Amino acid sequence: MRSLSALSLLLVSLSLQAEPVSKSFFGGVAIGGHDTVAYHQLAKAGKPKAIEGNDRFSVKWKGANWHFISKADAQKFSDNPEAFSPAYNGFCANALSLGEGLVKTDGSHWKIFEDQLYLFYADRGRQRWVNGNWQTYKVEADQAWQVLSK
């Protein structure tokens, strides 16, 4: 059983090296094509729906194409991608906190905690973080990420 767990971890690690960002299978678009700069603007305005970007305003970063709604958003991201990119390269924060490994997201379920964007596979994971102790979940996700992102 231990060898199977080690093999699973190795395969996940190898897949992470091949795909450092949660992106679509077709076209290599990060976080479902949603504008990662816009999340921060939406959070300030209290709007919950993510906005899809346009491939006319695209930036290549970490092996993925990131789409934006405007040239200005694309430029903000280009100037400082770490400030706008999601935690865990866009993989599901909740899945990491539960020890479920790297689960891709499509960018539609999200929340910003302390100026950091977190993405979730499903709304129930987002709700768990919003209604629970997200700081504890973050510590758990950070620990899993340290192992899986090496």
The residue range of the domain holding 66 is 26-85
Q: What is the pLDDT of residues 19-60, one digit of tens each?
A: 467 655 556 899 999 999 999 999 999 998 999 999 999 999
The domain boundary residue, chosen from 85, 104, 128: 85
Distance CA 84, CA 10 (A): 29
Model confidence band, residue 7 (pLDDT cutoffs 50, 70, 90) = very low
Check residue 68 and give its pLDDT: 98
Q: What backbone torsions phi and psi does residue 131 show, to the nearest 5 degrees?
A: -95, -10
93 and 148 both lie in a single domain: yes
Residues 62, 106: one domain? no
Whether residues 76 and 51 share a domain: the answer is yes
Q: What is the pLDDT of residue 149?
A: 85
Count of domains forming the chain: 2
Q: Is residue 61 part of a domain?
A: yes
3-class DSSP assignment, residue 52:
strand
In a domain, 14, yes or no: no
| Domain limit, last residue, from 85, 104, 135 | 85
Domain-located, residue 5: no
Residues 81 and 102 in one domain: no
Under the banding of pLDDT at 50, 70 and 90, the label for residue 9 is very low
